[in-house]
Amino acid sequence: MYLLIIAILIPFIATALIPLIHNRIGSLHIGWLVLLVPTALFIIFALQIPAISVGEVLNQTANWIPSLGINFTVYLDGLSLILALLITGMGSLVVLYSIYYLSPSDSFPHFYAYLLLFMGAMLGVVLSDNLLVLYVFWELTSISSFLLIAFWYHRKNSRYGAQKSLLITVFGGLGMLAGFMMLHSMTGTFSIREIIAVIGQYTDHALFYPAMFLVLLGAFTKSAQFPFHIWLPDAMEAPTPVSAYLHSATMVKAGLYLVARFTPIFAGNASWFWTITIVGLITLFWGAFCAVRQTDLKALLAYSTISQLGLIMSLLGLGSAAMYFGDGEQGALYGLAIFAALFHLVNHSTFKGALFMAVGIIDHQVGTRDIRRLGGLMAFLPITFTFAVIGSFSMAGLPFFNGFLSKEMFFTATVNAAGLPAFGVSAWGVLIPVIAWIASVFTFVYCMILVFRTFFGSSQLKKLDKQPVEPSIGMLISPAILCILIIGLFFAPNLLGDYLLRPALNGVIPGISGAAPQISAWHGFNTELFMTLGIVIVGTLLFLTFRSWFKIYRLQPADWTFTVLYNSFLKDLKRVANWITTHYMTGHLPAYFAYIFIFFIATAGGALLITGALSVDLMADSPISIYEGMLVAVMAVAAVSILFAKSRLTAILLNGVLGFSIAIFFVLFRAPDLALTQLVIETVTTTLFLLCFNFLPEWKKEDSPKRTKIRNALIAIGGGVTVTLIGLTVNSGELFESISGYFEDSYELAGGENIVNAILGDFRAFDTMLESLVLFIAGLGVYTLIRLKVGKGSGKDEHQ
């Protein structure tokens, strides 16, 4: 049964159906029908929890290209299940929220089609076992997120943010693809499970570390890690439901999932540990530091998302040390960081989703997200205020909210890492908990800014676009559910831990049996508790004295940012591209031919010389008959004579001599079918030339400068010599086994007794199909042009 494969395909099928049913449902909001898709998928995956929680895994395969090892294989274990539940569960809440959030002027079919397309792509990413299938879905998430971010395409900032996210994530995805191909080159398989099983034999392979860093490049760009984080703040131009879905629970978690999934392959070495840990800690600190200075609520949430993603990434890096120690006390000690990463991944989705929705309500009901224009909203939006307090305090890591539990586990992991007896941590390990603590202080500060500067103080109604009132109950349901989860997970965390987190941990670091602890809120007066108390005290002081130390942000020059560097790079790239284009796009056809032939000579001729493939052996060739020599002479004279033709008619006739001479060659070589084909084609071509002769413009043969003639002659001679050498080289030696033996079995392979018919009808069927498709498209184009011409000539409307 292909239940998992069908689950991936359902969103794509629904996407295709939306345009068909949109105009046939009357006044019913299409969002209600779309809501059925993620809800049904969530139920399907939730039903798998009992089996997965006891260690079972589900895998299903649909053969695609088995000869190349590319099959649609899906694999559901604890790690992929927890992501699948987030994708479908948050998807359900976001669709419900969007029904009340979007304006009637928005294009609902486009929005929900893009959203379902993204949902299906994300499910494909987390469930795929085949590397190439995973990559296809990975890039599809980039494309669909581009469409969602640019949903309000009439806004310049929306188009800019969508382009920025696409360029950076696709760039990382291409690097990841190269890493995948290196893994396949090493192991001979595209299956992630099979790679995990055999990778121990290839840790000393020359491609091991390049593959590792390229896979991390894809993960870092997708999860907005420093310095690739710059795309996420600009992506906040998307509608708030998109931000709540893509940038809190799903798309940005794809990179984290990739790191977790590939931990059994690459973990256990210092490069993996330090790269992920350092990048994660820098991202954690820089995101929190930048969030404090933001005046737009969504921008603040964007940088806070970057920071929280860095926190989870650093935990994945710290926990990778468990692979070095293996199953045992030390392995379990450092495996705790992986458990904390998975726990915080779920917690982050709940509190950040609730915060995005709360900010969306403020923007929807007030008309602005500018903190400088807000204040005193608690009296007008008490329910939204409650959501914001719950989400913010959870993100700040305060008690009675789920973020407190995973934050305490984060501190435990950093303290443990400071004493790690491997990877040279002893020299710099003390900086890990210090950086984590400083970043957490800034996290506390921006959480207080979000709550107190938005909802407390005096109201500024004159600066608002709308009179603030609570939205309809429908818009409050989704954030309310998330806030219930935030509090519920604090009081019953082991329900999540036993049924989801433990199986997910086993999927990341199999065999570390003691790394999944019982989650509790109280561990006594330990280092982690004192770190939390210090954060609250120092963070409160910084918040109260914010205006006195805020000037430190002015020390950074305005043009010293990665966004400025990105914009400068694109501007310089455009300038270089324009310079190149203006120099080769001359509008002069001979120049284009010159570029083409120079490139051909340089690449093909250069390859012959550099690789040493050039080999000419004429000893085994058949003797050249007098007839063949005469034909060669005739063709040479005709070809050269075309250059000196005084009229178009003469050039056409000389060109015909070349074509008919080739047909005679086929006769001499005993290939009558090719000779007949060549005769027909040449006759038709020459006749068409002559028929069109009267309609062609007057032929003005320009007299080119001597230097141009010499250049063209050299190019022509070089091209001819290159083609001749290629032909002689191919004829003189065989670098590869001839494929003729394969086609000799045409009857067994294709059921055709005539080998020529079998080649044309079976082996080249795909090529023939594409040729037919090209002709069909060309026919549509011709028909369209004819209709347009007739319509205009008859005075009819263009749409007719």
Verdict on whether the full-model pTM lies above 0.95: no
Per the CB < 8 A criterion, the answer to whether 327 and 511 are in contact is yes
Kindly calculate the radius of gyration of the chain based on its CA atoms and give it in whole angstroms.
33
The residue-averaged pLDDT of 252-267 equals 94
Report cis status (omega within 30 of 0) of the bond before 227: yes
At residue 613, the 3 state secondary structure works out as coil
Q: Is the C-alpha dihedral spanning 756, 757, 758, 764 positive or negative?
A: positive
Averaged pLDDT of the chain? 89
Q: Which residue has the tokens 């991202």?
A: 283
- Comparing 476-485, 683-692, 733-742, the range with the smallest average pLDDT is 733-742
Query: What does the block give as tokens for 448?
Result: 């207080």
Alpha helices in 102-129 (DSSP H): 108-127
pLDDT > 80? residue 531:
yes
Query: What does the block give as tokens for 673?
Result: 């079918």
The residue-averaged pLDDT of 374-381 equals 92
% of the chain at pLDDT higher than 70: 96
Q: Which of 134-148, 505-519, 685-699 shows the highest mean pLDDT?
A: 134-148
In the chain, the N- to C-terminal Cα span, in Å, equals: 49
Question: What integer pLDDT is reported at residue 798 of this predicted model?
Answer: 39
pLDDT > 80? residue 80:
yes
The residue-averaged pLDDT of 319-343 equals 87
> How crowded is residue 60: how many other Cβ atoms within 10 Å of its Cβ?
17
Q: Confidence class of residue 515 from pLDDT cuts 50, 70 and 90?
A: low
Q: Cα(106)–Cα(474) distance, rounded to whole angstroms?
A: 18
Q: Is the C-alpha dihedral spanning 580, 585, 589, 593 positive or negative?
A: positive
Please enumerate, as own/partner, the contacts of 448-453 that have beta carbons within 8 Å and a separation of 24 or more: 448/392, 448/396, 448/539, 448/540, 448/543, 449/292, 449/300, 449/371, 449/543, 449/546, 450/297, 450/300, 450/301, 450/355, 450/388, 450/392, 451/388, 451/389, 451/392, 451/393, 452/543, 453/371, 453/374, 453/375
The residue-averaged pLDDT of 171-177 equals 96
pLDDT > 70? residue 790:
no
On the CB side of 618, CA atoms within 13 Å amount to: 4
* Helix or strand run (H / E) with residue 59: strand 58-65
- Closest by CA to 330, choosing from 514, 510, 520, 528, is 514
The residue-averaged pLDDT of 368-390 equals 93
